[in-house]
Structure 1
Amino acid sequence: MTAAISIQTHPAISEIPASDWDRLAGPHPFTSHRFLDALESSGSVGPGTGWQPLHLSARLDDTLVGVAPLYAKSHSQGEYIFDHGWAEAYMRAGGEYYPKLQCAVPFTPATGPRLLSPDPIVQRALLVGMTQVAERVGASGVHVTFCKEAEADLGAEAGFLPRTTQQYHWLNRDYPDYDAFLADLSSRKRKALRKERQRAQAFGGTIRQLRGDQIQPAHWDAFWAFYQDTGSRKWGRPYLTRAFFDAIHQTMRDDILLVLAERDGRPIAAALNFIGADTIYGRYWGCVEDHAFLHFELCYHQAIDFAIANGLSRVEAGAQGEHKLARGYLPVQIHSLHWVHNPGFQRALADYLDHERAAVGAEIAEVADWGPFRREG
């Protein structure tokens, strides 16, 4: 079947009908056509950003059977699976690391499907197609980041190198309310979180959870100011444009939870979340006033409240952050795939990743033991 599958590249997701893309992508918010289109139509990715869309489609005869979000990259920013050291080593050896191909959702460290097809044969054809495109455009390699574990297994069979890193996720053990979650924690941690929430909520204002039509243009104006401040401090300049937030309001506001803190009728902080089929994804936070523990309240505790109230199984609160551990977020493996055109570098990378996987596995086991949950027995 693989030989009969034809692979095509697309410089804009608008070339692929939304209904066809979403039929293959499923319900995940970040691989939806509307999210990826919002990035492109707003100018957050595209010319001048270092993220040039080069999406793949796979067809069997005239039927679209697979797609993948793919970008030609001229840098390694906005990815969260870090390869800056690889780039330096590659260039010291006399190679050109950029451009490279990135199969990912830009600026979004959230696990989800990347090889968008229910058929493993088509998924493999997409991976092979990526390596062929890399050779054609002179890219150093292909990187598939924040993919599903099954995709990582399939990629390893296809000659890609699997990599594991870690994030901190909160898992819902069928808790009826937040107090039931606290009951699973050690007494000391339970008291600490109760005190933390009390202090955060005593900042002198109110906290609201807004969804859908409850979110108004003025809320986005305030959030844009928060986001600009955070982006300037973290990345030098914000990744997303103001138009991006207008675009997702038009097409995705029912999939958004905006947790807003107001004082004296004025927004002072907010956390932006996206809602999936069984997961809430924390993405951006910002503030114009500093209050003790308000960041933790808006980003982590309010997300847990929402997950419990809506029967969601998981909270993913973004990249990094060991401070999440004390708030009930446990370390989990994150998967990615890597293929480099240069055989010598590919061999060196394989050796490095073998050692890194073992270290990451040991670290996850050790860190999990430091978690706040009560010890059984």
Structure 2
Amino acid sequence: METSCQPARKPVAELQVRAVQALSAIGAAEWDACATSPETLAAGDETFNPFVSHAFLSALEESGCVSRRTGWLPLHVAVERGERLIGVAPCYLKSHSQGEYVFDQGWADAYERAGGAYYPKLQVSVPFTPVTGPRFLIAPGEDPDDAVAGIVAGLRALRDETQASSIHVTFMPERDWARAGALGFLQRTDQQFHWENDGYATFEDFLGALASRKRKAIRRERREALADGIAIEHVTGADLTEAHWDAFYRFYTDTGSRKWGRPYLNRRFFSLLSERMADRVLLILASRAGRPIAGALNLIGDAALYGRNWGCIEDHPFLHFEVCYYQAIDFALARGLKRVEAGAQGEHKLARGYRPVTMHSAHDIADPAFRRAVADYLKRERAHVEEAAEMLGSLTPFRRDCSRSEREA
């Protein structure tokens, strides 16, 4: 569907809202001031989420990974008072539901069978990134409620202008989820598995918190993962080279092609990422006989390590667990990070010390009848997610015979 998405200002009280078709139209310092302000990050432990940084999002755009051609047309919402930017939201006009990790294809099918047009839709998110982080970015010193109300009003005006069916804000903090709900968005939950540093100084400390059988299983997995003479290397900062990225891209495209047909990220993206934020990048590489055979891309926050992409060109038992989960824990412990977020899905993470955590998204649907149907579905889905979290929480591998303070004593 062809749409005219020219930047347009619309009044929201004394605020002006415009749709920005390229991140380059907003200065990096202005954007990042909003992304890292206390108003944006209130109630969370993270002081720098790398995925909402200007460097990361602009690398996606400039590499061509997000564009009209790929079905991710940038239409970032900027709220201003006079010449001052008071809030922004990373927003895209979508012609499909790929690369989002909050699945609404069933909604699209149902709406289109009923004669509606689900696409285009507006997606407020970080493309290809199932990581919770701020979606309503607020300038320092601004009133968060006013700024969010302005952003939401701008999103709704943009939805009307582009004839989009809906607005989807995914992987958002719970506080903003509640705020969106108060502004009329439908609320959705899902689940991931995160590792929490419960005061551990070493990996052995972490293993000591597990039941004996689980502890032995992890030790065995780690031994077997490296049994074929495989060596592990952590590469970050100035040590990252184009040769590292050439190797990782081979892994990424090989695995991505087998899993979902077409990898989302191109080779140029990784060079731009390394050029712009190498100190926030951790590449964990596995080599055999001096030849790289597998790797995992992670981004480093101030509080968490975020596992993003994995790939391999040789199959070895437990190597995926070693590179993506156990090595990530090793790095987090060494850096004093509070947790590891190892990506979407994966109940197999539970046995490896990763606990269930609730994810949040919010959805604003224009068609009243369709909105009622989705609201009814989400009510039942939220109850199911809550029940599943309680059940899975009871299946963690941690010892139940004593508290952490008793174990330390």
TM-score between the two structures when normalised by the length of structure 2 = 0.91
Distance 2:339 2:145 in 1: 26
2:21 maps to 11
Once the two structures are superposed, residues 15-34 of structure 1 have per-residue CA deviations (whole angstroms, 9 ceiling, x without a partner) of 00000000001121000001
Which amino acid is the alignment partner of residue 86 of structure 1? W
How far did residue 2 of structure 1 move?
5.3
Please say if residues 2 and 121 of structure 1, whose CA atoms lie closer than 8 Å, have aligned partners that are also in contact.
no
Please give the per-residue CA displacement for 1:194-224, whole angstroms capped at 9, x wherever unaligned: 1111111223121011111111111100001
The residue correspondences of 1:185-224 to structure 2 (distance < 5 A) are 185-224=210-249
Separation in 2, partners of 1:376, 1:351: 42
Q: Secondary structure at the match of 2:399?
A: coil
Within 2, Cα distance between the matches of 1:90 and 1:41? Answer: 34
Alpha-carbon distance in structure 1 between the residues aligned to 2:133 and 2:401: 32
The 5-angstrom pairing of residues 22-171 of structure 1 reads 22-26=32-36, 27-117=48-138, 119-171=144-196
Aligned pair 1:263/2:288, yes or no? Answer: yes
- Aligned position for 1:227: 252
* Cα distance in 1 between the residues matched to 2:170 and 2:401: 36
CA distance in 2, matches of 1:234, 1:59: 42
8 A Cα contact 1:52 1:71, kept in partner: yes
Q: Which moved more, 1:229-238 or 1:75-84?
A: 229-238
Decide whether the 8 Å contact of 1:124 with 1:154 is kept in 2.
no
Say whether the 8 Å CA contact 1:167–1:334 is kept in structure 2: yes
In structure 2, the partner of 1:337 is 362
**Counterpart amino acid of residue 216 in structure 1:** T
Residue 243 in structure 1 maps to residue 264 in structure 2? no
Report the CA distance between 1:376 and its aligned residue. 3.9
- Cα distance in 1 between the residues matched to 2:145 and 2:339: 26
Structure 1: how far apart are the matches of 2:168 and 2:401? 41
Q: Distance in 1 between matches of 2:171 and 2:369?
A: 25
Q: How far apart are 1:47 and its partner, in Å?
A: 2.6
Offset from partner CA, 1:156-177 (integer Å, 9 cap, x none): 0000011000000001112010
Structure 1 Cα separation of the partners of residues 200 and 227 of structure 2: 26
Deviations 1:135-157 (A, max 9, x none): 11100010000001011000000
Equivalent residue of 1:239, what SS?
coil
What's the % identity of the aligned pairs?
A: 54
Unaligned runs of 5+ in 1: none
Q: What is the CA–CA distance in structure 2 between the aligned matches of 1:311 and 1:189, rounded to whole Å?
A: 24
Task: String of CA shifts for 1:93-149, please: whole Å, max 9, x gaps.
Answer: 110000000000000000000000162220121112111100111000100000010
Distance of 1:234 and 1:289 partners within structure 2: 15
What does residue 352 of structure 2 align with?
327
Is the 1:4–1:60 Cα contact (8 Å) retained in structure 2? yes
Counterpart of 1:362 in structure 2: which amino acid?
E
* Deviation digits for residues 59-99 of structure 1 (CA, Å, limit 9, x no counterpart): 01221000110000000000000000000011011100000
In the aligned structure 2, how far is the partner of 1:312 from the partner of 1:128? 37
Q: Distance in 2 between matches of 1:47 and 1:69?
A: 15
Give the length in aligned residue pairs: 377
> For the Cα contact (< 8 Å) 2:12–2:153, is it kept in 1?
no
Deviations 1:319-364 (A, max 9, x none): 0001100100111100000011001111111111111111100100
State yes or no: 1:21 paired with 2:31. Answer: yes
Q: Does the 8 Å CA contact 1:2/1:122 hold for their aligned counterparts?
A: no
Report 1:177-192 matches (<5 A). 177-192=202-217
Match 1:354 to one of 356, 372, 379? 379
Q: Write the letter of the residue equivalent to 1:141.
A: S
Per-residue deviation, 1:265: 1.3
